[in-house]
Copies of this chain bind each other. A is one copy, B any other.
Amino acid sequence: MSRVKVAVLGGSGYTAVELIKLLLRHTGAEIAAVTSRQEPGKPVSAEHPSLLARCDLPMEQFDPDALKAKGVGCAFGCLPHGLSAEVIAPLLDRGIRVVDLSADYRLKDLAVYAEWYGSPHHDTKNLTHAVYGLPELYADRIRSAKLVANPGCYPQTGILGLAPLVAEKMIDVTTVVIDSKSGVSGAGRTPKLTTHFPECNESLSAYSVGKHRHTPEIEQALSDVAGTPVSVLFTPHLIPMDRGIFSTIYATPTKPVAENDLTALYRRYYAGKPFVRVRDTLPATKDTAHTNFLDVCVRVVKGRVVVLACEDNLVRGASGVAVQNFNLMFGFDETTALM
């Protein structure tokens, strides 16, 4: 089978370099182009020295016709939020399918989008048919999607951590607290004081309390699973480590529950999902590092439910699940390049 030619749009960030490494291992994909607004002509391995002798392609200006002419069948958008819409519409117009790692096409409610992102959506036409790319929930729709809105890093732990409970009406959906902790790569590659090593190393802080844009994304998916509106109190924290997200989730059950029954429920719910590991023991981010696994464990404490879910924010939280979506879209085994 000939390889699918793929393009990586926006080659300078962490999700791009992680994606390129995964794609280099993919037996059914070929990286045909890497684009960059900032430094066209520069080899991607000059921007990311880890890629030397692995991917030395010069980065190029974004040009949808050139990508079409190269035979690109799928583009991965690794651009910052707000910039994706500009490049995605012209690609879709040319029949190129897209996995967009930004947040631009995740929220279906235009009012919610405007409220949290501070401006109206610029591409409502494509937003309509975009599929939220969480494979454990929406694999069928992803398979035929033209545009997949790759899910956020935090949201995946919150959504998959709670989906079995809300699907089975086990919890009071007004009581949910998601206390999340993330490694620093989640903040991106642009230097800032908050991510300057001597500021965030050996420190722990909360940020965007009550204001983080992943809140409505979590609520949208869980409400869809629940069939009723779900509200969450979501608090992100910055942790002095490169990678990893750990979410500790609290909820009040609708009736008394036993830990064993909940664990069994999780195992049934995620049966056949190769990347969700339901654990008996408490998970640790390190056991998911550099993998596409999302580990989850459920406990009952003083009558309340505590779910512990973790993942690698760059692989499972971004580039790995993007490849998982690509695999579904193009008929590859779901785990190709990801084990």
**Which residues in A have some Cβ–Cβ distance to B below 8 Å?**
14, 24-25, 49-50, 52-54, 177, 179, 181, 183-185, 189-193, 195-207, 209-210, 231, 233, 235, 237, 239-244, 246, 248, 250, 274, 277, 279, 281-291, 293, 295, 299-302, 304, 306, 308, 310, 339
Q: Are the CB atoms of A302 and B244 closer together than 8 Å?
A: no
Contacts A179-B179, A179-B248, A195-B191 hold; do A205 and B284 have CB atoms under 8 A apart? yes
> How near does chain B come to A321, taking the closest CB pair, in angstroms?
17
CB pair B197–A201 under 8 Å, yes or no, is yes
Residues of B within 8 A of A300 (CB): 210
A49 touches B204 (CB 8 A): no
Task: Tell me the bound Cα distance from A317 to B288 in angstroms.
Answer: 23
Taking CB as reference atom, which chain B residue is nearest A279?
B52
Q: Give CA–CA (A220, B235) in the complex, Å.
A: 27
Known: A287-B52, A304-B233. A198 touches B185 (CB 8 A): yes
By the criterion CB–CB under 8 Å, are A192 and B189 in contact?
no
Per the bound structure, the CA–CA distance linking A192 and B290 in Å amounts to 25
- Asked if A250 and B233 sit within 8 Å, CB to CB, the answer is yes
Complex CA gap A201/B14 in Å reads 14
A288 with B50, Cβ < 8 A, contacts A181-B181, A197-B200 known: yes
User: A206, B302: Cβ atoms under 8 Å?
Assistant: no
A201: which B residues are within 8 A, CB to CB?
184, 197, 201, 240-242
Q: How far is the CB of A153 from chain B (nearest CB, A)?
A: 14
CB–CB A197/B284 < 8 A = no
Question: Contact at B209–A277, with CB atoms within 8 Å?
Answer: no
> Does B339 lie within 8 Å of A25, measured CB to CB?
yes
B177 A250 Cβ-Cβ under 8 A: yes
**Contacts A49-B281, A196-B189, A202-B243: A306 and B248 contacting too (C-beta < 8 A)?**
no
Most chain B CB inside 10 Å of its own CB: which residue of A189, A206, A235, A308:
A206
Task: Give me 16 other A-B pairs in contact (C-beta within 8 A), A183-B198, A183-B202, A202-B285 excluded.
Answer: A25-B25, A50-B286, A52-B277, A53-B277, A179-B248, A181-B181, A189-B198, A198-B242, A204-B285, A204-B310, A205-B246, A207-B282, A209-B299, A233-B250, A239-B239, A250-B250
Question: Among the listed B205, B209, B284, which residue makes an inter-chain contact with A285, where contact means beta carbons less than 8 Å apart?
Answer: B205
The reply to whether A204 and B244 contact each other, CB–CB distance below 8 Å, is yes
User: What residues on B are CB-neighbors of A242 within 8 Å?
Assistant: 197-198, 201-202
Q: Which one, B54, B179, B207, contacts A339 given CB within 8 A? A: B54
A-B contact pairs, 15 of them (CB 8 A): A50-B289, A54-B339, A177-B177, A179-B248, A189-B193, A191-B195, A191-B196, A195-B197, A201-B240, A201-B241, A203-B287, A204-B246, A205-B286, A233-B304, A240-B240
